[in-house]
Structure 1
Amino acid sequence: MVQIIPFKAVRPQRARAGLVASRPYGEYNEDEMKARLEYNPYSFLHILNPGYKFKHTLNGTDKFQLIKNRYLEFKEEDTFIQDTSPCLYVYKIESRDLTCCGIIAAASAEDYKNGIIKKHEETIESREILFKDYVKTIGFNTEPVLLTYENTPEIQQFLNKIMQEIPEYEFATRQRETHFLWKVEKPENIQKIQQYFKNLNSIYIADGHHRCAASALLSEENAQKNDLHTGKESYNHFLSYLIPEDDLKIYEFSRLITDLNGYSKEEFLMLLDEHFRIENMHLQLHIPSEKHHFSMYLDGEFYYLWLRKTSSNFDNCLSELDSQILFERILEPILGIHDLRNDKRINYIPGKRDILQLKALIDSGEFAVGFGMKPISITEIKKIADQNFAMPPKSTYIEPKLRSGLTIYEF
C-alpha cells in the first residue's frame, strides 16, 4: 500500500510563477546564472544562490542559513503564498521531446525505509549526509523526488477530468516547455487519488535517490529527538512528483576516469582485450545502440568495445547491466576503482549531452579515458529494484527534470 498525503504548498503568486520557477541549479552555466540573477528579481535562483545579494560566492554549509533567509524574504514580500488547506497538485509538462503528467504530493519516508518505495541505484554517502544537513537547516523541499508507478488507466482518467478545469498556472519557458498546474483541494478528490495509490503494492524512484535517502535519515534523526513522535509529523514525508512509467525518458551516464592507473595506452588496450573485442574508430563518433556494447574515447581516438561471448555468463539481473559490466570488467580490476560512491578519480556526465563534451574534457587533460553505453530500460530498473539489487551510482539520467520553486513542502 503506497501512502501519499496532501500538503499546504508554499508557491508563487499566479502572475509570477513563470518568473520564479527555475531549472535545476546545476544546469545553468556561469553566464546564464548571472543573467537570471541580474535581470529577474523573482527567480528562485536568488534563493539557491544567496551570496549574489552580497556579491560574494558561498559554498557548502555556509550558504544553507542564507538560503533560508532569502526564502523567508520571498514569503515576506508575498512573492510566495501558502495554500490554506492541504492539497494535491496535478502537474503537466509539454515540450518537443517529452510530455508527462502526474501528481505532486508528499510521499512517506517510512515507505522508503520499508521498501514500498523501491530504489534501483546506490547513493554516495557523503551526498546523503550533505542533503540531510541542507534540508534540516533550510526546513523545506523545493525539488520533488521523481517517483514512477505502473501505468494505471484509472488514475490517468481521473487526472484528465481534473485537467478540464482552468489551471492554477500555465506558462512557457525559453526551453520551449509549457507547464501547467492544477490544485486538487476537494477532500473527495484527494481521497480518491489516495485510494488509487493505496491499491498499488509499490512505486519506484526514477530520479532523486539521494534526496530520498536524506529524507529517511532526517526522519529517523527527528523521530529520535521527539518523545511525542507519532509518524504523522511533516518530517516523515518528502516532496514528490509521481508519474506513470510511459512518461519517463531514460538516458545513460558516461564515465570519465582521471588516469589509466599507471598503465600505458598500449598496456591498457591489451588488458581490455581479455573481455572485449575492440575496434578503433579513429575520429568517427560512436554511440552504442545495443546492450553490452560500449564506446570509449582515449588519447584522441574513439573505440568500439563489445563484450566477448566468453565473458557473457551472468549470475543475476544486476550482472547483466552494462554499468555493472563496465565496473566489474574495467573500472575495478584494471583501473583500480573499487568504491564508486566515493572514489574521486571517476566522474559522470549525462548521456543526453553531446558526446563532444566528453571528448573535450579528455582532450583538455582533465581526464584520461571516457566510456559510454546504451541507456537502461524501465524493465531493467524495475527488475533490479524488485530483486533488491542496486545499480552502480549514476546508472541512469531520467527526465523530466523538474522546475524548482513551483510547490514547496515545509517541515
Structure 2
Amino acid sequence: MHIKPFKAIRPTRDKVSLIAARSYETYTKAEREARLDNNPYSFLHILNPGYKYHKEITGTARFELVRNRYQEFKEDGIFIEEEAPAYYIYKIVDRDEQEFVGLVAAASVADYANNVIKKHEDTIALREELFKNYLKIAGFNAEAVLLTHPDNNDLQNIYEQVMSARAEYEFTTTYRDTHYLWPVHDPTLLSKITLLFRNIDPVYIADGHHRSSSSYLLAEELKKENHQHTGSESYNFFMSYLLPESQLRIDGFTRMVMDLNGLDSEGFLIALDHYYKIENRNAEYYEPTKPHHFCMYLDGRFYSLKLRKGHRNFENALEALDAQILYTTILKPLLNIKDLRSDTRISYGKGNNDMIRVKEQVDSGTYAVGFSMPPATITQIKDIADADLKMPPKSTYIRPKLRSGVTIYEF
C-alpha cells in the first residue's frame, strides 16, 4: 500500500489532554454539555460550534462554523502545524492494560478505489455525501480511519526504537486510557516505513468505512474541479491509523427488537425450534463463546440458542458469520426485520456486557426480545472482505478508539 508522512495540525503539548475528545456521538447530551461548560479547550467546541450561540445549528451552516471555530483555535496558538512531514507512532494503553501501537499516516485514496484497502461493511450513500460535504467545507479531518495489516517485525523494531525516547504526548483520559504520541521526522526512518508498507497488500478497514468512502468521494470531486491536478494533492490521501492485526480487539453488538411480529412468546419459541436447540436458563445469564451460539432474553428469562447442525451448510464466509445467521434465521423470517439499516424496530448495543442493559429494556417493555452472540474474528473479517462481501451493520465493535483532535489532517 502507499502511505506518506504529512504535516499534522496538533495541540501544543500542555493542552493536548484538554483538547482530545471521543467521537461526538459517543457522548450523552449531559456529558457534552458538562465538557463544553467546563473545558474551553475541548475539541467538542469545534464539533459543536452552535454552543457558543446557545443554538442548535445543522447542515452547511454548521460545517462553516466548524471551520471558523477550528481556525480560531489555530489563530489562538492552541493548535500548531508540524514543521515538516512526519509519521506519528501512537500508543494507547487501555484500562485493562491492553496495549495498542500503530502508525498515523496519510493513506492513498487510490488504494481505497483499487481495493488494496479492503472493506467489509456496506456504507449508506446519504451519510457518505453528508460527510464528504463536511470535509470539503471544514477543510480538515480529525478522526483517523482504523486500518489493520499483518504483523511486521521490521515495523515493530522501528516503533520500539522511536518509543525509547520521551513521547511528545502522554496523557490519561477520564476513561483511564493512556495515550502516547511520537512524531517521526528522521528521513531514514520515514523512507524505511514507507517502503515497508509498499510491500503490504492488502490492508483492511477495521473501523471508518464512511470516513474512507467520503474521502474518496471528496477526492473525485476536487480532482474534477482542479485543472492542474497532479495526484500529489492532500485530498488524494486520508488520515489513517495503521495497526497490526494481532492487536486489534473485536467485540460484538447486541440486538433488541420491539415486538415479536404478531407472535406470542410460546409461538416464537416454537418457530425458533426449527433452527435452534433451545435451553431455558431462567435467571442465569448465558454467555455464548462458540460460533453459532446465541443468548436470548425473552419474558424475564435467558435462553441459549445453538444452531442445529442441519443448518450449518454455509457456502461462503458471510453465511457463516453469526450476525448474518441471526438475520437469516430469526430477524428476517420470524420478526420481519428486512432492512437492518433503516428498520426502527431494531436497536443495537455493544459488547456482551450490554445484555444487562438489554435485560432492563426488555423488562421495562420497551423491547420484546434481545440477543447477543460471540464477536467476529479478524479471520472472518478478512475472508468476507477478500470475497468482496459485506457484513450486516453493527457486526463488530472495534478497538482501539482514538481521540479526535490529537492529529488533524488538512485538505
Shorter-chain TM-score bucket reads: over 0.9
Q: Separation in 2 of the partners of 1:134 and 1:6? A: 24
Q: Separation in 2 of the partners of 1:267 and 1:3? A: 55
Could you tell me how far 1:339 is from its partner in structure 2? 2.2
Correspondence list, 1:192-231, <5 A: 192-231=192-231
Q: Deviations over 1:312-340 (max 9, x none)?
A: 11111111110111111111222222222
Deviates more, 1:178-187 or 1:117-126: 117-126
Look up the match of 1:135: 135
Q: Deviations over 1:346-383 (max 9, x none)?
A: 22211165321122233343333221100111111111
Look up the match of 1:305: 305
1:375 aligns to 2:375 (yes or no): yes
Look up the match of 1:270: 270
5+ residue gaps, structure 1, are: none
Correspondence list, 1:5-44, <5 A: 5-44=4-43
Query: Residues 261 and 336 of structure 1 are in contact (CA less than 8 Å); yes or no, is this contact kept in structure 2?
Result: yes
Could you tell me how far 1:6 is from its partner in structure 2? 1.1
Could you tell me how far 1:54 is from its partner in structure 2? 1.5
Letter in 2 for 1:293: H
Look up the match of 2:80: 81
Query: Residues 352 and 372 of structure 2 are in contact (CA less than 8 Å); yes or no, is this contact kept in structure 1?
Result: no
Look up the match of 1:409: 409
Quick one: structure 1 residues 207 and 60, their matched pair in 2 at CA, closer, same or farther if it must change by over 3 Å? same
**TM-score when scaled to structure 1?**
0.95
Q: Separation in 2 of the partners of 1:247 and 1:403? A: 18
1:391 aligns to 2:406 (yes or no): no
Quick one: structure 1 residues 389 and 281, their matched pair in 2 at CA, closer, same or farther if it must change by over 3 Å? same
SS of alignment partner, residue 14 of structure 1: coil
Quick one: structure 1 residues 285 and 60, their matched pair in 2 at CA, closer, same or farther if it must change by over 3 Å? farther
Q: Deviations over 1:122-154 (max 9, x none)?
A: 223332222222222211110111111101011
Q: Separation in 2 of the partners of 1:131 and 1:286? A: 40
Q: Deviations over 1:182-229 (max 9, x none)?
A: 111122221110000001121111111111121122222222333332
Look up the match of 2:180: 180
Look up the match of 1:361: 361
Q: Separation in 2 of the partners of 1:259 and 1:218? A: 41
RMSD over equivalenced CA pairs, Å:
1.7
Letter in 2 for 1:333: P
Letter in 2 for 1:152: N
Query: Residues 90 and 183 of structure 1 are in contact (CA less than 8 Å); yes or no, is this contact kept in structure 2?
Result: yes
Query: Residues 169 and 181 of structure 2 are in contact (CA less than 8 Å); yes or no, is this contact kept in structure 1?
Result: yes
Letter in 1 for 2:83: T
Query: Residues 123 and 393 of structure 1 are in contact (CA less than 8 Å); yes or no, is this contact kept in structure 2?
Result: no
Q: Separation in 2 of the partners of 1:218 and 1:339? A: 28
Look up the match of 2:64: 65
1:189 aligns to 2:185 (yes or no): no
Quick one: structure 1 residues 277 and 342, their matched pair in 2 at CA, closer, same or farther if it must change by over 3 Å? same
Query: Residues 294 and 305 of structure 1 are in contact (CA less than 8 Å); yes or no, is this contact kept in structure 2?
Result: yes
Task: Give runs of ≥4 in structure 1 deviating > 6 Å.
Answer: none
5+ residue gaps, structure 2, are: none
Letter in 2 for 1:168: E
Query: Residues 124 and 393 of structure 1 are in contact (CA less than 8 Å); yes or no, is this contact kept in structure 2?
Result: no
Quick one: structure 1 residues 337 and 69, their matched pair in 2 at CA, closer, same or farther if it must change by over 3 Å? same
Query: Residues 121 and 393 of structure 2 are in contact (CA less than 8 Å); yes or no, is this contact kept in structure 1?
Result: yes
Letter in 1 for 2:139: G
Q: Separation in 1 of the partners of 2:352 and 2:109? A: 30
Q: Deviations over 1:32-90 (max 9, x none)?
A: 22221111111111111222212223445552222222111111111111112211111
Alignment coverage as a number of residue pairs? 410
Quick one: structure 1 residues 212 and 82, their matched pair in 2 at CA, closer, same or farther if it must change by over 3 Å? same
Query: Residues 131 and 214 of structure 1 are in contact (CA less than 8 Å); yes or no, is this contact kept in structure 2?
Result: yes
Letter in 2 for 1:327: Y
Letter in 2 for 1:123: T
Look up the match of 2:170: 170
Q: Separation in 1 of the partners of 2:409 and 2:35? A: 24
Could you tell me how far 1:105 is from its partner in structure 2? 0.6
Q: Separation in 1 of the partners of 2:126 and 2:261? A: 24
Query: Residues 125 and 341 of structure 1 are in contact (CA less than 8 Å); yes or no, is this contact kept in structure 2?
Result: no
